[in-house]
Structure 1
């Protein structure tokens, strides 16, 4: 069950974007599993993809198409990742794009493919044709279209994920709306996820890419469930320009305002992925402060977040703080002075000056660890750099879900 997470009550549509969903039977029966997103002519796109060298066929094809054409359609399927499928997988990804392009009367490179699901199985491309016929008829731009798409792209997710924000730029209201899927195999770079974000702002191509990369760094690349980086990760930002609000300089108030709302949407989606982590019973905010560099802070944070001993203690609500300090100590920070490290959990001072805080009691620790929301704060005593990431515990259900995933 997702930790403190419910489906969004509503999502604000983006002028210039229409969506539709269909049941193609790619893997699942009796539910939608294919979605199409159509964007108006002139829409600009930015993207961040997985850094996994064993990337999936649709990632390769999407990169190729973005380099050669302006997108008009996104074609997304759930249940089959089309990863680990070699040349045949590339042909299948391209064929799915061709089927949509042929019916929509656009060039093949204007279609971007995205897949999520089981790795190592060939994509049943023959199922796309009939689904696409329905999709192109059903395209619409309302809030429910975004919600339907959020449901269609789910795999082991238990809750559809979406977020909207609005801001005034140049006297015009700008909207940013995004949907995402992700639950397991979550770790930078990027977390196993697909995220599709639209805005009606008009941003220059270079600005669009830089602001997306910045937002991803503090959101999707700051979450982890199990330390596994997926083959299929993708985050796409589409700017239709339909609001008439222009963002044309990185030094402008408009850019700063837009960057803030984009980061808010990305962080809400990223945190929703963690809250819906496979088998998760805890939502953990992990802050590392007083580091010499941000990179050092992140190294410590992810070492702690990936420790099976820390994660199982979190699941048991066991204030076994020695496991946290042990993870800090093995994070590989050169010259780390243990006497300068301090630790708090949900505001309770646990350790300082190289040992347990004299005022700490086990009862305080038990109370701090009892809830669903845990804040772990670690000070390194080395500088003024810091970082914040989000993670989960490791439960019996995580093992069960992944053991049964292909069955």
Structure 2
């Protein structure tokens, strides 16, 4: 169970929990406590669509992937992302490295939720999170699915909030985002949730989550949007350097709001993709804000790279540098650690062209200008570093003009405390 160094941390994070929302038509959600987790905590969540929906997902690239990852891949492969009716998710047990028995359990979850919702067999996706190497208490899970789907699903804000709570592990708050927008006179809504506070290392994906919309989108268009979106949101965050075995981000579009079906060449494709990207970034940033033991939220703005991928590679290197992250925790403007991580990122850089600046709501200081150190105002830097939200701007000076925005957090003593007692 997670330990906290102070009550202040809990109070601070509560401001990220929404008190209302704007939710898409045609979805019912909820969560229940099955007894898999201790102290009657919510540990099973279900999302169902009242009409068959298009679906897409991106998964961990970890070669040791969990049973639900394999089963969800199989579902999407067999259906082509068409006529998906539900997502079922559990916390408290990852169902990872559990052999053939684990695959059977994941398939049982899909079969049970499909049967209880009265949708086509094997038309649901499945996700699990928790401790690796333990079998699911599948009897508790299947009983919980039946109870949850029979009477406890709904579309209210509280239902959505409980759904988000049902997949939490070391998270300190439920991560839920929703919004509405309009195309061609039709109002569309989007809602999503995620879990994650540790084992957050980019390379698709970084955690569990989904976002759903009532817009009509073909499976191929949704898949293309999702991959583009994830690459620039959930793959641009880092808490630590560990990649989970279970990482999955899914998207569904049921068309309940009406309007023209969006295909890959539809006039609104790019505009809808932009809405999805902004939405996904907001949701992904909540994961960083809840990083295990984190006290700082850090935005890395890598500019003037030769390519987007170069900018992202440099950002990833800095974001995962333990020396940089501990410096931020210690409120130390040690910019040498930024340059060090840039140099070993694998990107060809010219140290005589690099510029670095540090800023927050309290002001800005230039640290390096075209490879030349700038006299540091230590007092001003100390004031800037007192803020929770920090910004690092690094220009590579290539003339290429490409950039990437990336989000990370600091590394504190509390991170060790959390992960040293994860199973207790």
Is the TM value for this pair above 0.5?
yes
- Aligned residue number for residue 35 of structure 2: 25
**Does the aligned pair in 2 maintain the 1:167–1:258 contact within 8 Å?**
no
How big is the shift at 1:251?
A: 5.0
Q: How does 1:39-58 map to 2 (within 5 A)?
A: 39-58=49-68
- Aligned residue number for residue 70 of structure 2: 60
* Residue 386 (1) aligns with residue 386 (2): no
How big is the shift at 1:281?
A: 0.1
How big is the shift at 1:247?
A: 4.2
* Residue 92 (1) aligns with residue 105 (2): yes
How big is the shift at 1:283?
A: 0.1
**Which of the residues 396, 404, 407 maps onto 2:421?**
404
- Aligned residue number for residue 4 of structure 2: none
- Aligned residue number for residue 342 of structure 1: 355
**Does the aligned pair in 2 maintain the 1:21–1:149 contact within 8 Å?**
yes
**Does the aligned pair in 2 maintain the 1:166–1:261 contact within 8 Å?**
no
CA RMSD of aligned residues (A): 1.6
Aligned residue pairs, count: 405
Task: Judge which range, 274-283 or 69-78, deviates more.
Answer: 69-78
**Does the aligned pair in 1 maintain the 2:212–2:251 contact within 8 Å?**
yes
CA distance in 2, matches of 1:96, 1:176: 26
How big is the shift at 1:15?
A: 1.2
* Residue 118 (1) aligns with residue 131 (2): yes
CA distance in 2, matches of 1:194, 1:59: 11
- Aligned residue number for residue 380 of structure 2: 364
Q: How does 1:140-151 map to 2 (within 5 A)?
A: 140-151=154-165
Query: Which stretches in structure 1 are left out of the alignment for 5+ residues?
Result: none
CA distance in 2, matches of 1:192, 1:85: 21
| CA deviation vs aligned residue, 1:136-178 (integer Å, no higher than 9, x gap) | 1222122221111011111111111111121111211011111
| CA deviation vs aligned residue, 1:107-164 (integer Å, no higher than 9, x gap) | 4311221101111111110112321221112221222211110111111111111111
Normalising to structure 2: TM-score of the pair? 0.92
How big is the shift at 1:80?
A: 0.5
**Does the aligned pair in 2 maintain the 1:41–1:72 contact within 8 Å?**
yes
Task: Judge which range, 28-37 or 244-253, deviates more.
Answer: 244-253
**Does the aligned pair in 2 maintain the 1:183–1:192 contact within 8 Å?**
no
**Does the aligned pair in 2 maintain the 1:247–1:255 contact within 8 Å?**
no
| CA deviation vs aligned residue, 1:369-404 (integer Å, no higher than 9, x gap) | 221111001111112111110000000110100111
| CA deviation vs aligned residue, 1:313-345 (integer Å, no higher than 9, x gap) | 0001111111111211222223x2211011000
SS in 2 for 1:173: strand
- Aligned residue number for residue 228 of structure 1: 242
- Aligned residue number for residue 205 of structure 1: 219
How big is the shift at 1:106?
A: 3.6
| CA deviation vs aligned residue, 1:180-234 (integer Å, no higher than 9, x gap) | 1111100112353111211110012211111111111111011000021111111
Distance 1:16 1:275, change over 3 A: same
Distance 1:164 1:104, change over 3 A: closer
Q: How does 1:115-264 map to 2 (within 5 A)?
A: 115-137=128-150, 138-264=152-278
Normalising to structure 1: TM-score of the pair? 0.95
Task: Judge which range, 29-38 or 306-315, deviates more.
Answer: 29-38
SS in 2 for 1:345: strand
- Aligned residue number for residue 301 of structure 2: 287
Q: How does 1:289-368 map to 2 (within 5 A)?
A: 289-334=303-348, 336-346=349-359, 347-358=364-375, 360-368=376-384
**Does the aligned pair in 1 maintain the 2:205–2:230 contact within 8 Å?**
no
**Does the aligned pair in 2 maintain the 1:167–1:257 contact within 8 Å?**
no
CA distance in 1, matches of 2:271, 2:347: 36
**Does the aligned pair in 2 maintain the 1:174–1:245 contact within 8 Å?**
no
